[in-house]
Amino acid sequence: MTPPMATVRTRFAPSPTGALHLGNARTAVLNWLFARRHHGAFVLRLEDTDTERSVAGGEAMIYEALDWLGLGPDEGPREGGPFGPYRQLARADRHRARAAQLLESGRAFRCFCRPEELEARREAAIAAGEPTGRDARCRDLPAEDMRRHEAGSHPAAIRLRVDSGPVEFTDLLKGTLTIDGDDLGDLVLVRSDGRPTYNFAVAVDDIDMEISHVIRGVGHLSNTPKQVLLYRAFGVRPPGFVHIPTVLAPGGGKLSKRRGAAGVLDYRDRGFHPDAVLNYLSLLSWSAEDGEEFLSPEALVERIDLDRLGAADTEVDEEKMAWLSGQHLRAEPAERLARRWAGVLDVQGLGLEDADLRRAAEVFAKRTRLVADARAELESIFRAPDLGGAAARQVLSAPEAATATRLAREAWGGTAWRPEPLALALRDAMRESGLPGRGFFPPVRVALTGQPHGPDLGEVAYALGRKRTLERLAAALS
């Protein structure tokens, strides 16, 4: 999609009513990727006017989720910027000024009808099979009636004059769409209590913040013609609208707490790699031209193309997200992965140093999909083996156990400490012993980990380190 403006500016405008779930996060991902792809700006604007549903700490949870995913805004409540404030409630003066501008230009008018009157007439229109949006009683009040109403105590709402006839707008995925102005009616911009309506506030804020592309869920499609009318009333070119399909629960249906609507931070706490969640969310609406699915954030930025967005709803697939998490873990530099693992391990209790974690990351990343998987993998290896248990005693008391353990210790004593040389040296020791593999390897494995099964012994020894490995073999011999 060719940007209609010189500078691409996208926005993510959640309500701080709770944790960021996958559907909202997918919207943030696409806005961030598209802005980065075109060297533009990604704006966070909080639509905090729903004070009844707002959650204490909701803003902090949104930022925490975005930061974990690596979606740092360029402008927002925390970052500031040239188009602030970035909280909708704090923009009330700007909304009033914009409403006054439309009144002065004649594009809007004051409506003195009471809400109960409007509701009664709406029900009558429904009963008569007529459009419900058009209620022109106050549209062209004579000046005398206007002054009389203004002198009264009842405050007025402000409504946009909407002409009859087609209202056309374009969506990237759905093409050109049309709705009749009579079906929309004269839109309420500001309620009689002074509060702006959602569509008026959103349009004013998008205009003021020079948003070039509005990428949002398809549930907002019905709002688009109303906002387009406001752009035209202000004489401003509308942004490019992209309404992305709905994210469904596994098996279909609306996301809910019981059906796949876990918050983004829940996936962090379960050990998913953040780049994998970002990668997965991008694939809920978009696909690379070559079909590649494992993509780094940098690759996603380079390849994102709104023309390749799909229009079909898509279901959450945690298995696929976990697979991507494993791919991203394996691709991560060992030093960085070691730092992630340090956050989920009892480092002090296991006596682990940074070098131990780096070695383990080199050889065991391929055995994990979630960061939390390191707990089971590494603790079983680094925890001191219980050689006094019945299973360990049975293996170590076999006639060939002492020979195997001694030869392994001798072979490894002078070997370069890398997985491949360690594995080769151990196989050479086995051939020297004359023992079959099933008699040679189990005592060595039990001596190192206390377990009869596990990863390749060369990798185990490498992860444990020379000093710890030789000490454990000596302990088993004694």
Residue 40: phi, psi to the nearest 5?
A: -105, -155
With contact defined as beta carbons under 8 Å apart, do 31 and 9 qualify? Answer: no
With contact defined as beta carbons under 8 Å apart, do 448 and 409 qualify? Answer: no
Task: Name the nearest CA neighbour of 87 among 123, 125, 49.
Answer: 49
Q: Assess whether the previous peptide bond of 443 is cis (omega < 30° from 0).
A: no
User: Can 254 be counted among the known catalytic residues?
Assistant: no
Query: What does the block give as tokens for 366?
Result: 């391929």
Task: Name the nearest CA neighbour of 191 among 156, 150, 147, 231.
Answer: 156
With contact defined as beta carbons under 8 Å apart, do 22 and 264 qualify? Answer: yes
With contact defined as beta carbons under 8 Å apart, do 179 and 166 qualify? Answer: yes
With contact defined as beta carbons under 8 Å apart, do 390 and 396 qualify? Answer: no
Query: What does the block give as tokens for 168?
Result: 């056309």
Query: What does the block give as tokens for 8?
Result: 């691409």
Name the E strands within 23-145.
Answer: 41-44, 108-111
Residues 6+ apart with CB under 8 A from 55: 16, 17, 18, 61
Q: How far is CA 73 from CA 10, 42, 139, 207, 259, in A?
A: 10, 5, 42, 19, 29
Check 174, 226, 257, 467 and give the catalytic one. 257
Phi-psi region of 235 (alpha: psi -120 to 50; beta: other; left: phi over 0): left
Return the number of other C-beta atoms located less than 10 Å from residue 213's C-beta.
25
Active site amino acids: 257
